[in-house]
A and B are shown apart, each in its own frame.
Chain A
Amino acid sequence: MAWIDRRPGVRPRPSLGRRLDLAARASFPATTTVLLMLLLEAPLGITGQAALQPAVVLGCIWFWSLHRPRCVPPPVVFLIGLILDLLAYLPFGVGTLTVLSCHGIAVALRRFLLPHGFAIVWLSFVPIAISAAILMWLLVMLLTFRLLSLAPAFFQAIVTIAVFPALAVPLGVADRHITDLERL
């Protein structure tokens, strides 16, 4: 029995085009996150570009884990974290642990947060961003056996909080345009 016949309901037959379309929609969150990361690796000459990369990844993971947790399952989040580790020259495991924790908290809180609208989502992101920056700072210090100044972590937290609305607007538009896969 094909998967389409297993569930009741009326829906179009899964032709190749339709399946490709569904796959593209389902992979949109992860793909755009990775592409944004790659773009921020280019020498754009933006001040504080180094802090922007983890900031954007955390913002994307927070947004998509709240709005479409099925499009960013834990293994995909792990992979995104691994790419962050490689691109941002963090010691292995620092990025993965940070984004996985962010994802876990978002998934646990989504039923509570989503009905309250954007302001609450952003406000609840503030402690997440701060603890993520401190977690990364602590882990980098631990793994490189070096005392680091807290200033970059503080800066990263501020950039992460500030960049979230700028991310959330286009991601929200994209979110409305992808078919509601969560109900499929």
Chain B
Amino acid sequence: MIRLSIQTRQALARLTLPVLILASFALMLLGKADALLAERARSALADGLAPIYRVLADPIDHARATWNEVANLWAMREENARLRAENEQLRRWQSVALALDAENLRLKSSLNWIPDPDASYVTARVVADAGGLYARAVLLSLGPNHGIRKGQIALDDRGLVGRITEVGARTARVLLITDLNSRIPVIMESSRARAILIGTNNQRPRLVYWPEGVNPKDGERIVTSAEANAFPANLPVGTVRYASNGVPEVEPAAQLQRLEIVRVFDYGVSGLGGSSSALASDAKAGGATKPQSPRRITPATH
């Protein structure tokens, strides 16, 4: 070992902090110069930590379930009454839905409708919060050879969650529709007007760029549009709610605050697959003016 005088050692010790602060600035430049570096480092770290998260997931689920049970015990009677009423209503809706479904099938068969191909999907557990103060994303734990690619679409049991933006060996990151970088082409269900849903990092993304003469109605359902071939059509996204300042926002159908299990669908949409999220959002915002994608075949009428 090199022997240093006490003065030299003290001077060196005093120098470490300034040098490391300079190193932080260098790191910022490096992260700016090579955006992929950060992505790769994060993927590698997430892959390394995935086993820990998977071990942690069970006790956390257990604790959460126990907590929910305790909380539920208090409100059991009211809950039961509410559910009974809701069940009654849903039963009526179910019969309507079945009738409509049958009618839909009949009409489609008389039109020689070419059905959309069935999508294949992988179910994955949400093991970590992959966001932060200024990002909204979750981390999925996957088995080896999972076959998940960038740009695939994640849904929970109620609606659209987001898209895969980074894929590691055992993990994948899903950018939520509430993230600041999220841009999604959507259609308002009753007016069929197109719009773009942009994330704001808040719980409700904002609706922008709808055509003149159409106003989003409070409570109207919002579904994805097949514009730009980034999403298949008609995935449930949420319902319109007006914020206090009069800006139309969308209450996501998916439970983005409490994601536990999501399904990652491969719809074979190629519009933006593989491109980075920033590029994807730009392309999508621009894609709103493009003509309809070739995948949507207009059925021949007789």
Contacts and interface: CB of A to CB of B under 8 A. Distances in A.
Contact of A75 (B20, B126, B180): B20
A50 interface: yes
B134 A140 contact: yes
A130 interface: no
A93 B31 contact: yes
Overall SS of chain A's interface: helix
B56 interface: yes
A43 B259 contact: yes
Nearest to A153: B133
Interface residues of A, number: 47
Contact of B30 (A86, A92, A100): A92
Q: How many B residues touch the partner, as a band?
A: 35 or more
A89 B28 contact: no
A89 B42 contact: yes
Contacts of B228: none
A9 B129 CA distance: 51
Interface string B49-81: 100110011001000100000000000000000
A88 B30 contact: no
B285 interface: no
Interface in A60-108: 73-75, 77-78, 81-83, 86-94, 96-97, 100-101, 103-104, 107
A73 B15 CA distance: 12
A42 B20 contact: no
B133 A54 contact: yes
A93 B25 contact: yes
Overall SS of chain B's interface: helix
A183 to B, nearest CB: 18
Contacts of A103: 17
Contacts of B257: 45
A70 to B, nearest CB: 10
Contact of A97 (B24, B30, B53, B258): B24
Given A75-B20, A100-B20, A45 B137 contact: no
B129 A42 contact: yes
A38 B30 contact: no
Given A41-B128, A42-B56, A43-B60, A90 B23 contact: no
Given A92-B28, A96-B27, A50 B127 contact: no
B42 A92 contact: no
Shortest Cβ-Cβ A-B pairs, 8 listed? A92-B31, A93-B28, A88-B132, A93-B27, A97-B24, A96-B24, A89-B132, A74-B16
